[in-house]
Amino acid sequence: MAKTIKIRAKNRGGITTVKSLISHPMETGFRKNKKTGETIPAHFIQEVVCKHNGKVVLNCEWGASISKNPYLAFKFKGGKKGDSIELSWKDNKGESDSIVTKIR
């Protein structure tokens, strides 16, 4: 699959910067459908894990108040060109996705 995640990892001066965009509705569960008045059920990412060569470098727990189509950026020490970076997410409905890329 891996169509929901865009990711870029770059190493400069021994520090790898990972930037990523995930397309996801991030529905809070508080919103209402204006026409029908029905509450739109919550649907949001709860967990994001990023691994560098199989080792976890970031583990996030997210709530529904993260914006729609979430953006995430972070840095870690180490990593070199060609190393693998894997990012995966899981939402409250059990849906998930992951992507593997290489550090540039």
| Separation CA 84–CA 38 (nearest Å) | 44
CB of 49 to other proteins, least distance (A): 8
| Separation CA 55–CA 61 (nearest Å) | 18
If one asks whether residue 88 binds other proteins (CB under 8 A), the answer comes out as no
Among 62, 89, 99, 103, binds other proteins (CB under 8 A): 62
Within a 10 A sphere around the Cβ of 102, how many other Cβ atoms?
10
By rule CB under 8 A, what count of residues binds other proteins?
A: 32
For residues 7 to 46, the per-residue mask of contacts with other proteins, x marking binding by CB under 8 A and - elsewhere, is: --------x----------x-x-xxx-------------x
Task: Give the single-character DSSP code of 41.
Answer: P
Is residue 5 within 8 A of residue 85, CB to CB? The reply is: no
The tokens for 102 are 């290489």
Positions touching other proteins (CB under 8 A) are 15, 26, 28, 30-32, 46-47, 55-68, 70-78, 92
